[in-house]
Structure formats: C-alpha cells, structure tokens
C-alpha cells in the first residue's frame, strides 16, 4: 500500500496524540519504520500494516493509503488490472 500524503499522516498522529513509537507498537512495526513514512524515506507498506495504522489513528480505510501499482504491468500489488 502506498502512503498518499505524509503530512496528513503526521496531522492524524498529532490529533490522536500518537508518537512514532506508540503508532509503531500499535501497527506492529518499529518506530523507525513510522519515522521513514513520516519523512518520505519510505512510501509503502503491507496492506496489514496500512490497515493497522489507519485503525490506530481512527480514520476510514484508504484515507491514508492506496493500493500500490506495479508500473511495468499496469497491475496493482494484488494482481488486479488497473486503468491505464
């Protein structure tokens, strides 16, 4: 899953009073992983991690993350064909 907007992630973290460490614990990843999402060093994660982050921050599914698209095949990471 691809993070749509890292600034929005940080805003929801602030609203929910989530530190990077706390969100990482909730999502089952490291504080460093959350930091990488917040800084743009990393832009993707697994669907499970994306779901846990959105759940922890109490936002609707697909608010922060969108399915990743494989550029070479025009398919999403789940293998479904996407519009070109």
The widest CA-to-CA distance across the chain, in whole angstroms, is 40
Instruction: To the nearest 10°, report the CA torsion of 36, 38, 39, 45.
Output: 40
Pick the CATH number of 2-61 from 3.30.420.40, 3.40.50.10610, 3.90.420.10, 1.10.260.40: 1.10.260.40
Q: Please state the pTM of the whole predicted model.
A: 0.81
Instruction: Report residue 83: phi and psi, to 5°.
Output: -70, 140
User: Contact at 8 Å (CB) between 64 and 5?
Assistant: yes
Per-residue pLDDT at 84: 42
> Which residues on neighbouring strands pair with residue 75, listed in sequence order?
70, 81
Q: Which residue ranges of the chain lie beneath pLDDT 70?
A: 70-84
């Amino acid at each position: 899953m691809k993070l749509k907007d890292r600034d929005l992630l940080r805003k929801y973290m602030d609203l929910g009073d989530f530190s990077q460490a706390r969100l990482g614990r909730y999502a089952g990843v490291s504080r460093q992983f959350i930091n990488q999402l917040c800084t743009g060093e990393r832009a993707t994660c697994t669907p499970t991690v994306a779901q846990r982050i959105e759940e922890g921050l109490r936002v609707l599914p697909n608010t922060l993350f969108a399915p990743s698209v494989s550029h070479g095949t025009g398919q999403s990471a789940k293998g479904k064909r996407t519009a070109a």
